[in-house]
Structure 1
Amino acid sequence: MKKTFVTLIILLVMTLQSMTAFATVDHGGPQRMWTVPTVFSVDEPVTFYFDMTDAGFKEGIDLYLWCWNPSEPDAGNWENSSNFAKLKYEGENVYSMTITPTKYFSQGASTMSETDVYNTCQTDDWAGFWCRLKTKDGAEESDVFQAPDSRSTWKEFAKSNSACKFYATSFTGNTLTLTEGFTLNKALTIVFNPDLFTVGGKTMTEFTKQSSFGGFKLHSGLNDWTFLQGVKVWIDGCMKKTNIHKLTNGYYEISMTSPYDYYSWNYADDGSQASTLLKADEQIDNLAWLVVGILNNDWGGTSSDYLNKAGSAEVYPDPIFSYFPTKVSTQDIITFIRKYNGKRDGVLKYKIDAGNKTFTGTIDGTRDKRQVSVNLLEQLASVSASSMTLTITNEAGATLISTEIPLFTVDE
C-alpha cells in the first residue's frame, strides 16, 4: 500500500512537471501594425511590420508567424516553427516579415494553390489574416490579432473615381489609418487609375498600346524639387527605382518604405548613388512630381505637374517623471509615474535608498504611462532619514532617473 502511494505521488509529480513544461506563456499583441506597400495586392511582395512594444516578449527574441487564414502553412509545427515563418527583428521592438501572400499561403502544409489564395483574399467573406507571433518552441505566444489587408482600400479607391491617390501610413492612437498627408519617415504608396490618369495627352491605358511603350516612371522631388529623384533612362537602377508597376487588379502603384529612404539619395548622371543631403529630421512641405511615359527607351510623354502637400509628422512627447504626494514622510504611500517612455525602456525598475535601508521594485504599465505605488510606512518603519534617493532604470539597466526626495516628519 505504501509502495502504491509513493508510486502515485511520483506519477503526480511527473504529470505536474509535464504540464509545466508544456505551459504556454501568453503575451499581448502588436501595439501597431503597418505594411509596405501601404496598399498591396496579395500576389505581390509586401512587408508586414509588427511593433511589439509592451507586448511582454523579451526585446529582440526570435519570433515566428503563426497564421491560419487563408491557410495554415505551418500546421503541425507549433513546437518547432519552420524557418519560412521566422520574422526579422528591425530593432526598437519592431519585427517584420516580407512575403508574397499567394506564395506563402500555398506552401508547407497548405493545400491551396496560389490562384486559390488570390481568389479567397478578394472575397467579402474572407476573414482576413488571423495570426499570432510566437517563439520557435511555442513556449510564448502573443494574443490573436488580424494583420492588415487592403480589400476595403481598393474598393474605396474604385468608388472614389480618383485618377491618383496618396496612401501614407498614419495612426489614430495605435490604429492604422491611411492618409494623403504623407510624412518624411512613414511609408507611402501612390496609386493610379490607368483609365483616368493621363500621360502625354492619353490615358495610361491608351499610352500602353503604343508599340514602343516601355513603362511609366515617377519623376519627383521633395520641397519643390529640392531633393530630387529624376528619371534617367540610361541608368538601369534609376529606371527600377522610379518604376510605377501594374497590379493584377489593373491599377498602377509605386511605394516607398519612407520618403526619407527614397529621397535621401539619388542616381547621379554617371550611375553612382549620391546623397541629396536630405536629413532625417528635415522639415518637408510638399512633393512635386509628374509621371513619365517611356517610348523607345526615352521620355515619350509626361503628365501634368502635381504638388502634394505633406502632413504633420507624429512627434512622441519627451519623458515626464512625477510623484505624489510632493511632500512625503516615511508614513506615506508614494506613487511614481513616468509618462512617454522610450520604445526600448520596457518594464522600469526602481531602487530606494534611505538611511541604512535599500529596497527595489518594478514600475509596470505601458510605454505611454508606467506607474507604481510604494508603501513607505511598511518599508521605512524603523528607518531614521531626512531624505531618500530614488533611482529608476530601464530594462537594459540604463539610469533614467536619479533624484533625492526629502522626507518630512509628520508634524511638519
Structure 2
Amino acid sequence: MKYITIVLLTFAAILIPRNSFATEDVGAPAKVWTYPVVYALDQEVTWYFDMTGTGFTEKQDLFLWAWSPSEPDAGNFDNSSDFAKLEYVSGMTWKKTLTPTKYFNKTVADIEASSGFWMRLKSKGNEKQSDVVQAPWSVGDIKTFKESGEAVQIFPQKFYLDEPLSILVNAEKLWVGGTQSGLAGEEIFFHSGLNNFVAGAIVEANMGNPDLVKKTKLTPIGNNIYKIDFIPREYYGVGEDFIMENIEFLFPTKDWAKVGTNEGGKNFVILAPGVPIPLDPIFSFFPQKFSQYDILTLIRKNNEKSSQGLVYTITAGTKTITGEFTGNKDEMRAYINLFQSLSTEPSIDKISLLVKDKNGAEIIKTDIPLVPLSDLN
C-alpha cells in the first residue's frame, strides 16, 4: 500500500508543474462535456465546465491552466493570459473553444502519445483554483470504432433529444447498390429524420439548397472515417413535447449519384435509449398452395410505424390486380379473389407479387407458383 501511495504521488508531481498552486481549492466541476462529443485533435472543439457547487461565483472570469499535453500559459499562473480565458455561458457553466493541435502547439501524434488533457480552472490571479480536471477526448473512441468493422456508431450510446451527439461513419463499410463497396473518398451527406422520417422531423440532403448541403455534409476525420455532430432538437427543429424514438438515415453522395445504406439496401435506424427493439416484420400468405381459382390471403405482422398502410400489385397472365391491406401496425391483411379476376385466363403457372408501403418503400417482390388447373381435376 505504501508503494502504491508513493507511485501515485510521484505521478501527480510529474503531471502538475511546480510553483503553480492557488491559495484556495474550490472543488471539482459538477460535469465536464464537449461539443462535438467526438472530435479530431486537429479540429475545433468546445469544452464545457459546469462549476455548480464550487467556490467560484456566477459570471466570474475564469482561466484555463493546462499542463498536458503541454503548458500553453507556462509561467503565468499568478496572472493568467487573456488567451486562456473561458467564456461564461449561464447557470455556473463556462466554456473554452479551441483546436487542440493549435492551442497546445503539438501534432496529432504528440497529443495521442500524451496522457490526455489535464488542467485546472482558476481565477485571473492565484486566489482560487478548481480540482484537477481531465477534459474528455476521442482518441480511443475513433480507434475502437475503426477496428470494430461497424459501418456507423453513435456517441454517446445513451443519447437524448436536448444533448449533443456524434455519429461516426466508416465509409468503407457502407453498402451501395447491393454490395459493400463503400463510399471511401466521396463527399458524403446525411439524409435523416426522427421516428422513421415522421413529418416535421426530417432534414433532407437536398443538393439544390445550399443551406441543407452545408448542414447535412459529413466531416472527414481521416482513414475514411466521417462524422456529423448535432443536438437532435435543434437539428430537426422539433417542439418541446416531441418524443424521440429513433433516428433513421442514409448517406447519399453529391447529387445522389450513389447512396450508402445498411446491408440489404436498408436505412440505418438507431433507437433512442429506453425504446424497445421492434419485432421483425413477418410476411406470409394462405393457403401455401393455391390455384388461380382460389381466394388468396396476404398477411404481414409487426409493420413499421411509419408505413401508413400497405398496397399490393399482382400480375398474372394478362391481368393486373391491385388493392390495399386492412388492419393495423400489429397485423395487416389483404384478401384477393383470384377466381374473380383470373377465371377467364388460360392455365397460369405463377403470379408476380409486389407489396409496397404507402410511402413507396418496397416490402416484398416475388413470384409464387400456382397449382396447375390440370391438377384440380
TM-score by length of 1: 0.57
Of 188, 192, 208, 1:234 maps to: 208
Alignment match, 2:130: 142
Q: Does 1:183 align with 2:171?
A: no
Give the 3-state SS of the residue equivalent to 1:238 in structure 2: helix
The residue type paired with residue 90 of structure 2 is G
The CA distance in 1 between the partners of 2:95 and 2:122, in whole Å, is: 13
Alignment match, 2:270: 308
Cα displacement (A) at 1:231: 1.1
The CA distance in 2 between the partners of 1:157 and 1:262, in whole Å, is: 24
Alignment match, 2:234: 261
Gaps of 5+ in 2: 1-20, 262-266, 276-377
Does the CA contact (< 8 Å) of 2:167 and 2:228 recur in 1? yes
Of 194, 199, 212, 1:222 maps to: 194
Runs of 4+ in 1 over 6 A off after TM superposition: none
Residues 56-205 of structure 1 aligned to structure 2 (within 5 Å): 56-106=55-105, 114-115=106-107, 118-123=108-113, 126-168=114-156, 179=157, 181-201=158-178
Alignment match, 1:51: 50
The CA distance in 1 between the partners of 2:97 and 2:167, in whole Å, is: 20
Does the CA contact (< 8 Å) of 1:231 and 1:238 recur in 2? yes
Deviation string 1:373-398 (CA, Å, 9 cap, x unpaired) is xxxxxxxxxxxxxxxxxxxxxxxxxx
Does the CA contact (< 8 Å) of 2:171 and 2:184 recur in 1? no
Alignment match, 2:28: 29
The CA distance in 1 between the partners of 2:249 and 2:216, in whole Å, is: 11
Does the CA contact (< 8 Å) of 1:184 and 1:280 recur in 2? no
Cα displacement (A) at 1:61: 1.1
Does the CA contact (< 8 Å) of 1:194 and 1:203 recur in 2? no
The residue type paired with residue 97 of structure 2 is T
The CA distance in 1 between the partners of 2:99 and 2:176, in whole Å, is: 30
The CA distance in 2 between the partners of 1:237 and 1:131, in whole Å, is: 38
The CA distance in 2 between the partners of 1:184 and 1:253, in whole Å, is: 18
Deviation string 1:249-301 (CA, Å, 9 cap, x unpaired) is 44111111x1112111xxxxxxxxxxxxx12342111111111111xxx1112
The CA distance in 1 between the partners of 2:121 and 2:184, in whole Å, is: 45
The CA distance in 1 between the partners of 2:83 and 2:202, in whole Å, is: 38
Cα displacement (A) at 1:243: 1.0
Cα displacement (A) at 1:200: 4.5
Alignment match, 1:286: 246
The CA distance in 2 between the partners of 1:302 and 1:205, in whole Å, is: 9
Does the CA contact (< 8 Å) of 2:168 and 2:227 recur in 1? yes
The residue type paired with residue 195 of structure 1 is E
TM-score by length of 2: 0.62
The residue type paired with residue 163 of structure 1 is A
Give the 3-state SS of the residue equivalent to 1:96 in structure 2: strand
Give the 3 Å change call, closer, same or farther, for CA 206–253 of structure 1 in structure 2: closer
Gaps of 5+ in 1: 1-21, 107-113, 169-178, 265-277, 314-412
Does the CA contact (< 8 Å) of 2:22 and 2:129 recur in 1? no
Cα displacement (A) at 1:63: 0.9
Deviation string 1:9-65 (CA, Å, 9 cap, x unpaired) is xxxxxxxxxxxxx96221112111111121211101111111111122112211111
- Identity rate, percent: 39
The residue type paired with residue 189 of structure 2 is K
Does the CA contact (< 8 Å) of 1:200 and 1:293 recur in 2? no
The CA distance in 1 between the partners of 2:249 and 2:223, in whole Å, is: 24
Does the CA contact (< 8 Å) of 2:77 and 2:125 recur in 1? yes
Cα displacement (A) at 1:182: 2.1
Give the 3 Å change call, closer, same or farther, for CA 250–70 of structure 1 in structure 2: farther
The CA distance in 2 between the partners of 1:185 and 1:97, in whole Å, is: 20
The CA distance in 2 between the partners of 1:145 and 1:68, in whole Å, is: 11
Cα displacement (A) at 1:207: 5.3
Calculate the aligned-residue CA RMSD, in Å: 2.1
Give the 3 Å change call, closer, same or farther, for CA 88–199 of structure 1 in structure 2: farther
Give the 3 Å change call, closer, same or farther, for CA 130–300 of structure 1 in structure 2: same
Give the 3 Å change call, closer, same or farther, for CA 187–199 of structure 1 in structure 2: farther
Give the 3-state SS of the residue equivalent to 1:195 in structure 2: helix
The CA distance in 2 between the partners of 1:187 and 1:128, in whole Å, is: 22
Alignment match, 1:299: 256
Residues 275-354 of structure 1 aligned to structure 2 (within 5 Å): 278-294=238-254, 298-304=255-261, 305-312=267-274
The residue type paired with residue 198 of structure 1 is W
Alignment match, 1:6: none
Give the 3 Å change call, closer, same or farther, for CA 147–260 of structure 1 in structure 2: same
Cα displacement (A) at 1:204: 7.0
The residue type paired with residue 129 of structure 1 is F
Give the 3 Å change call, closer, same or farther, for CA 247–200 of structure 1 in structure 2: farther
The CA distance in 2 between the partners of 1:203 and 1:50, in whole Å, is: 42
Does the CA contact (< 8 Å) of 1:199 and 1:291 recur in 2? no
The residue type paired with residue 248 of structure 2 is A
